[in-house]
Amino acid sequence: MKKLLVALLTLVCALSSVAAAQSNSANSGTQSNTVSKKRGPVFRATKDQIKQAQEILKRRGFYAGDQTGKLDTDTRAGLRKYQEAEGIKATGTLNRLTLEKMNITLTDKQKAMPA
């Protein structure tokens, strides 16, 4: 009787270990799927939009450079100052919210992108 009880307990413990291992491997598979998901389309400002933004930044005193249409270091610094002054997240990028705040027209492609 004792041998049967010991064998039964051993079997229950072994099955519990197998179930726990399967549960862990299933969870780790879910995590790797989450990590490897593709990013959606990236929002990019056009050269003309950057030039318009540089003009606005210059008028507001946040930028002293030329209207090059390039997001250089000085333009990004000016964008951060502008964003802080307007109470929006200071990213230093010319994102959708910043373009809209500056009243710069979005392209059709930009309008179609999720906000």
Tokens of residue 95, six digits? 């994102």
**Radius of gyration (C-alpha) of the chain in whole angstroms:** 28
pLDDT band at 108 (very low <50, low <70, confident <90, very high): very high
Q: For 11-45, give one letter per residue: b (16+ CB within 10 A) or e.
A: eeeeeeeeeeeeeeeeeeeeeeeeeeeeeeeebeb
3-state secondary structure 26-54: HHHHHHHHHHCCCCCCCCCCCHHHHHHHH
**The whole model's pTM is what?**
0.66
Q: What is the mean pLDDT of the chain?
A: 83
What is the domain partition of the chain in residue ranges?
A: 51-112
Give residue-wise pLDDT tens across range 27-77: 554 454 556 678 888 899 999 999 999 999 999 999 999 999 999 999 999
Q: Which amino acid is at 90?
A: A
pLDDT of residue 38: 82
Tokens of residue 70, six digits? 């390039």
